[in-house]
Amino acid sequence: MIKSHAKINLSLTVLGKINSNFHRIETIVSFISLYDEIYIKNINKKKHKILFYGKFSKGIPSSNTVSKIMKFMDKQNLLKGKKYSIKIKKNIPQKAGLGGGSMNAASIIRFFLLKRDKLISKNKIFELSEKVGSDVKFGLKLNNTIQLGNQSILRFKKKIGLYVVIVKPNFGCSTKSIYKKVRIFSKPNLNNASIKYINLDKIKVLKNDLENIAKNEYPKLENLINFMKNLKHNEFVRMTGSGSAAIAYFKTKNASLNATKVIKKKYKNYWCIISKTI
């Protein structure tokens, strides 16, 4: 079984547009103990067999990140003509900003290419990941990651060490729709030296530029975030990615457990889970 961990954006700054479809962003990405479960085995068939099941599997289209990455690898003969059964138990909700689909694709790349075939260059693997989605590259390694404004990637092994209480409302946010509404661009906050001094105090003063857009679109999300900011002992509260999941960060497990009880009492129909940065 392969663990496909959810990613969280500790910060996200929109700096400008690359083209009509993509924006230039600066972000700090971490990974949490919540994960999808991926099972892979070789089959004697003419086509790959891809199956999603579990709580958050409903509505995944036939053309998805996993089918796309398998198609790209087939085109380049990276699988040597072999076909596979891939079953994925979806424990990560869709349209939450947790990168479930992108991390599934990254996990597939790690399984087939990074661990099994050292003849494939890192640049080739990076290019392959970009064909599927801009977030996939983050999951090629499960280290904390900074993406700078020039889109270069810095990995750091220093642990964030926080408990997280994730709340996803009973609606999702469309990444494309949220980014379309970005009208103001920010200045960079990070540089190559940032990797040396990233800590809780630094992260707390950063923000997610997409959060206000999402809150304007969904007043219920704004109400949720304001409620979570009043939870006892939280270090900060921030939306991840383009939403709709909001995350409260805590230093202790006990504080996160108490917060979860309060949230579940107030928001009975929202998905809420405790996890931890890894």
Out of 89, 90, 135, 215, the active site residue is 135
CA 7 vs CA 79, 139, 176, 211, 266: distances in Å? 27, 8, 18, 17, 26
Residues 6+ apart with CB under 8 A from 108: 38, 40, 66, 69, 70, 86
Which stretch of DSSP H or E encloses residue 219?
Answer: helix 219-229
135 among known catalytic residues: yes
Give the residue from 71, 63, 105 showing the smallest Cα distance to 88.
105
Q: What backbone torsions phi and psi does residue 262 show, to the nearest 5 degrees?
A: -65, -45
DSSP character at residue 186: P
* Cα→Cα distances 226→69, 118, 177, Å: 39, 48, 23
Residues forming a β-bridge with 156: 144
Whether the bond into 244 is cis, omega within 30 of 0:
yes
* Whether 47 is catalytic: no
Q: SS3 for 100?
A: helix
Residues belonging to the active site: 7, 135
